[in-house]
Structure 1
Amino acid sequence: MKKRIQKILKKMLITLLSLIGILIVAYFLIVKFYPSFGGDVTKKDYESYTNSKQYENGKFRNLDANVPQDLGFNDMVKLSWKFFTAKVENGRPKDDLKVQKIDSANVADYKGDTRFIWYGHSAFLMQTQGKNILIDPMFGKVAAPMEFLGENRFNKEMPLEIEKLPKIDAVIISHDHYDHLDYDSIKKLKSKVEHYFVPLAVGVHLKAWGISEEKITELDWWEETTYKGLQFACTPSQHFSGRKMNNRQSTLWSSWVIKTPTDNIFFSGDSGYGEHFAEIGNKYGPFDFAMLECGQYNEQWQDIHMLPEQTAQAGVDLRAKKIMPIHWAGFKLALHSWTDPIERVTKKANELNIPLVAPRIGQAFTINNIENSPSNWWKNY
């Protein structure tokens, strides 16, 4: 009887190990042949990053080397289980968010003041000085390498589909996570875009997707470049990177400063709250307009995603004249209600006396004119 039990246990162990082996092999095959996972940074690539203060021992790092904080195995299991099983009250809008559509001719012919069209989450079309700039152009259905791995975005329609966009002078990307850098969006945009500006090593994904190296400019933190009369500065953020299980911190993440002849603009990308906001404000501020991350947060990972109250404070640190919360109203990537970000940041911004704007998705607005935006439009959902 004892030998029989041992035999059964041995078979079970072999079966389990075989299954694990099959899953590991399947994962690496999918990653290798499914293009949305992006490219791999080579040893030769890394040799060119050794002068970067952010690069150390084969990985990029934050100003605070202890960020991101590594959760213990038990914490990770508990958090993962909670994310996939917990029912979040008002976690998604009760209906698909209705976007404000914009005519393609209106976009193609626009020559006025610097204006923005928000696509939800962190994606923008910015028009300035007769130039068209896309910021973190994630127009995909899910923030994942494959559709079955993620929930659908909140807005089914887009203000203006990629196919109807005019020529794009520049694309600015903050980091390589799926909710900011989307394979299908980049492929559809490929024939329209003149140049890409990305943090160090992020270009490896673009090159893997058929973008020529000549069209890609990679910058380290505090590096600047000019393009068609505009100044772009790659500035710090407090976050992390990686599109696969085995390549975390393989590319750099950043925020961006965009200076036009008339406006000074800040885009945060993803970031936990830190001293870098005041440092950026001192070096490049004051800002006329700051787009600041505010959503997909949790107390356990606030070192890499700000809480709404910190978003408002970051606006003060940056010396921004006006802030707009972003990284919300797009995807459900955390366990808070979908309106929690906008409600909390609005309250804190009022306390700090910093002007806050919250246009609808698709609403075309300039920095000094965002009228006709229904107050608290999100309460309709």
Structure 2
Amino acid sequence: MSSIPDLISSVLGMTAAKRGRALSSTSPQHDGQRFRNVAPRPVEGLGKTLGIAWNLLFNKPRDTVPGGAVPVDALTRAQLDAAPDRSLYRLGHSTMLLKLRGQFWLTDPVFAERASPFRHVGPKRFHAPPIALADLPPLSGVILSHDHYDHLDRDAVLALAPTTNLFLTPLGVGDRLIEWGIDASKVRQFDWWQSAEIGALSFTATPAQHFSGRSLFDGNSTLWASWVIVDDDVRVFFSGDTGYFDGFKTIGERLGPFDVTLIETGAYDVQWPYVHMQPEQTVQAHIDLRGRWLLPVHNGTFDLAMHRWHEPFERVMSLSAARGIAISTPRMGERLDLAAPHRGERWWRNVVEVAEMPKKAWRLCSGRDAGRANP
């Protein structure tokens, strides 16, 4: 458990200003105070912000949560060790386990019960991870897109640190890991377009349109990024979180085409169009990137928006079919061959949707009950 001073620092963002100053001279994305997008987001008024918060807390439709068990293919260490190279397993939300050249890499690890700074409040996961954190094989690296709670689980990172060689992060996120006690020699921080060759693999941090922060006062003190992973003739794009922007075309021109694009399709809403994509934009981003197979992620695990639980899957499937795009929808824990993906099943249709649920029961399912902090 975190100490009281650590908790206060996390909630108040006391190290944010120091972190920002340290990076201001190194990145074109930094304005001397905070990181920023290429195209600035419109300033949101307090009234709109409070309105969004009110709707999320009190006006959610009942079917934003699944009414039945989400299917999960349980994984074992033995299965992973025996799996062929170029295997990908979706563990939930944006957490992907990749096996490349006999080594394992993990994106945006979140194994916590809730995507929240609190243990008993906030979005609660709908399914267990296909493999327990303690059962994962040693990792060559953890790849982080940004520091939001549904992408960066502090307890998971600290648990993984002893058996992980490297943490690849956008600027500032690595500083945060070091503040948490991660060995600085294991942390590599990247600005957009910076690359590293690690063994036979190449990793490049690429632009995204989003924001960052884990407290009330540390907003945009760290950078956000998408990632390009190259294993010889196989290229993978991982979007992290992002709104739609012209950068996808640039990434596709400079580093594409891609065999598989892992692009967010979930937690979207017309109230926040600049930081998360609608399914139509997900499909367009895949086209801009010159992708071959689309794997929609950032869905199915947490309730983070107002849309129905199954809606992201249905919409992106329909849109992809209309444009002749190959799309893969593996179950959580199901193996995907990055060199020869398969389409997968429409597994979400077997999950009974919520038809009627008393408001009190829905609030308990969504995790809107009191609890203690867990930064």
- TM-score, structure 1 length as denominator? 0.87
Contact 1:290–1:324 (Cα < 8 Å) also in 2: yes
Matched, 1:189 2:147: no
Partner of 1:92: 65
Partner of 1:21: none
Q: Alignment partner for residue 379 of structure 1, among 329, 340, 349? A: 349
User: Unpaired segments of 5 or more residues in structure 1?
Assistant: 1-27
Runs of 4+ in 1 over 4 A off after TM superposition: 36-39, 368-372
Whole-Å separation in 2 of the counterparts to 1:229 and 1:117: 21
**For the aligned residues, what is the CA RMSD?**
1.9
Over residues 85-111 of structure 1, what are the superposed CA-to-partner deviations in whole Å (9 max), with x where a residue is unaligned?
11414211112313101221121243x
Matched, 1:292 2:268: no
Whole-Å separation in 1 of the counterparts to 2:234 and 2:24: 32
Q: Alignment partner for residue 81 of structure 1, among 54, 76, 87? A: 54
Over residues 124-165 of structure 1, what are the superposed CA-to-partner deviations in whole Å (9 max), with x where a residue is unaligned?
10001111000111111111011222131010x221111111
Contact 2:20–2:32 (Cα < 8 Å) also in 1: no
AA aligned opposite 1:145? P
- TM-score, structure 2 length as denominator? 0.88
Shift of 1:204: 1.9
Partner of 1:169: 140
The count of aligned residue pairs is 348
Over residues 189-245 of structure 1, what are the superposed CA-to-partner deviations in whole Å (9 max), with x where a residue is unaligned?
121101010000101221122111110000000111111211000000000000011
Question: Pairwise mapping of residues 234-249 of structure 1 onto structure 2 (< 5 A)?
Answer: 234-249=205-220
Partner of 2:231: 260
Question: Of the two structures, which has the highest relative contact order with CA contacts closer than 8 Å and spacing of 6 or more?
Answer: 2
Whole-Å separation in 2 of the counterparts to 1:39 and 1:195: 26
Identity %: 35
Shift of 1:30: 7.3
**Residues 285-294 or 141-150, more deviating:** 141-150
Contact 2:17–2:33 (Cα < 8 Å) also in 1: no
Partner of 2:355: none
Question: Pairwise mapping of residues 344-363 of structure 1 onto structure 2 (< 5 A)?
Answer: 344-363=315-334
Q: Alignment partner for residue 136 of structure 1, among 90, 108, 126? A: 108
Shift of 1:343: 0.8
Contact 2:23–2:171 (Cα < 8 Å) also in 1: no
Which has more radius of gyration? 1
Q: Alignment partner for residue 123 of structure 2, among 143, 151, 169? A: 151
AA aligned opposite 1:80? A
Q: Alignment partner for residue 176 of structure 2, among 205, 210, 222? A: 205
Partner of 2:8: 32
Q: Matched residue of 2:296: which SS?
A: strand
**Residues 283-292 or 74-83, more deviating:** 74-83
Partner of 2:95: 123
Partner of 1:12: none
Q: Alignment partner for residue 53 of structure 1, among 18, 25, 28? A: 28
Whole-Å separation in 2 of the counterparts to 1:96 and 1:29: 39
